[in-house]
Structure 1
Amino acid sequence: MAIAITKPEAMIFDLDGTLFQTETLLLPAYRATFDRLREEGLYEGETPPEKYVLSGLGMLLEHIWQMVMPEVDQAVHRRADELLLKLQIEGMERGDGKLYDGVAHTLQGLRSRGIRLFIASNGLEDYVKGVIRYQGLETLFEPGGLYSAGEYRTRSKADLVRMLLDRHGVSSAWMVGDRSSDVEAGHANGLFVVGCDYAGFRKEGELDQADVRIADFSELLKLVDET
């Protein structure tokens, strides 16, 4: 059942595929990760097709590696975690990675309207905080408001969002994201869900249960102002 739209006290954003064009940072680091795994004798053969890692965006990393290289030991998955994070951080430091059009302006507009802004991501802590820092968005989000499954060891995004709401005393919020895990996390916590329909990483039908869908991030301002 759809949740009625009301003006929110806060907005909780997914990161990859919602605010950040993940592939602009991820794919070079993904290719370099497999170069390093081969050098270290931990992986043989060609780098798995990029479609596997892209289709897993929004999932926990352990589940992504199970799709990308299901035949290897979990120790290799953990080493891949380390390498991918290190290489992505190095990429951020070089200025790699892009936000979707209108993200910075829209977040500033939401903040100026008094809306509290948060992140809830299934990514690793240093990656999530690094993207926000290197993109110059830190001051727009609530202090301590960048939540990641990597930091809090949650098993689902619904649990992560519940923790965020409780810790920050948020009583009404919109969940904004591009994957079914965002829709499920929002509705599990009684939130209005905005589905972001522009990244293209998801499977068909993932956003069917969202309460509203947007084709451009800047549409959020219009939605808020019309509520």
Structure 2
Amino acid sequence: MKVDAVIFDMDGTLFQTDRILEISLEDAFERLRISELWEGETPIEKYRQIMGVPLPKVWEILLPIHTDEVRESVNEHFLERLVTNIQLGKGALYPHVKQAITHLKQQQLKLFIASNGLPSYLEAIVSHYRLDRWVDGVFSIEEIDSLHKSDLVHMICERYGVQSGAIVGDRISDIIAAKDNGLLAIGCRFDFSQEQELLQADVIIDDLLELKTLFPVGDVTDTSPDCE
């Protein structure tokens, strides 16, 4: 498979979000309970089902009868807890992330991250794990007015001249973004993935090391000018 760029999702693809998701979400809803704005258990399972959508949409679903002001307050607190837990080392990359992206980078591929996560959250992960050693750019859905990942990927492709890239992600939004932009859709059968969504991908992987097989040394698009 010849490509000139690989675009990665972050949550559930590179970063094991579940390591910090539950404790951060629990903290956010405990704050609501203390303020008598929520009764009952934290809707962790419901959040798992909608992983991959932008956070503003998350709170509309999890807090359907609450005001925008409450949702914004919860969002800010949740984000703060996520960033703090990342900085405390409570999260983790998926196995073989560094081996896989090192392999791709050695082939002079452009590597990007396109995520529904907010900029400060993404920056915390990239900084803590020093992903900027390999990644050419990190992009948040907040950079696109439509909040559609397809449009975010289109922006990346236009800006960097991507002609034959691949998207690696775990949810349907990643697969649709690949299809909408004429890219290869690689679905990751990881924590938040859903089998019926993965079936729409061009390729399904169970470990990021499989990218070394999909993109072996020398099997990339040569974007250098022809020699005279």
Q: TM-score, normalised by structure 2?
A: 0.90
1:105 aligns with 2:99: yes
Per-residue CA deviation, residues 166-206 of structure 1 (Å, 9 max, x unaligned), is: 1122222101101011010001000011111122x234411
Is contact 2:2–2:215 with CA below 8 Å preserved after alignment?
Answer: yes
Q: Where in structure 2 are the equivalents of 1:44-193 lying within 5 Å?
A: 44-142=38-136, 145-193=137-185
Matches of 1:203 and 1:129, distance apart in 2: 27
Is contact 1:125–1:151 with CA below 8 Å preserved after alignment?
Answer: no
Deviates more, 1:121-130 or 1:146-155: 146-155
Matches of 1:109 and 1:62, distance apart in 2: 35
Is contact 1:106–1:218 with CA below 8 Å preserved after alignment?
Answer: yes
C-alpha displacement of 1:49: 2.5
Matches of 2:62 and 2:71, distance apart in 1: 10
Aligned to 1:17: 12
Which blocks of at least 5 consecutive residues in structure 1 are unaligned? 1-5
State the one-letter code of the partner of 1:44: W
State the one-letter code of the partner of 1:193: A
Query: What is the RMSD computed on CA atoms of the aligned residues?
Result: 1.6
Matches of 1:120 and 1:49, distance apart in 2: 26
Q: TM-score, normalised by structure 1?
A: 0.90
Name which one, 1 or 2, has greater alpha-carbon Rg.
2
Instruction: Indicate the SS of the match to 1:58.
Output: coil
Matches of 2:148 and 2:200, distance apart in 1: 18
Aligned to 2:226: none
Which blocks of at least 5 consecutive residues in structure 2 are unaligned? 220-228
Is contact 2:29–2:38 with CA below 8 Å preserved after alignment?
Answer: no
Matches of 2:215 and 2:150, distance apart in 1: 24
Is contact 1:48–1:68 with CA below 8 Å preserved after alignment?
Answer: no
Query: How many residues of Structure 1 are paired with residues of Structure 2 in the alignment?
Result: 218
Aligned to 1:29: 24
Instruction: Indicate the SS of the match to 1:90.
Output: helix
Matches of 1:204 and 1:77, distance apart in 2: 31
Aligned to 2:211: 220
Is contact 1:158–1:184 with CA below 8 Å preserved after alignment?
Answer: yes
| Partner residue of 2:202 out of 203, 206, 211 | 211
Matches of 2:36 and 2:123, distance apart in 1: 29
Is contact 2:47–2:58 with CA below 8 Å preserved after alignment?
Answer: yes
Aligned to 2:33: 38
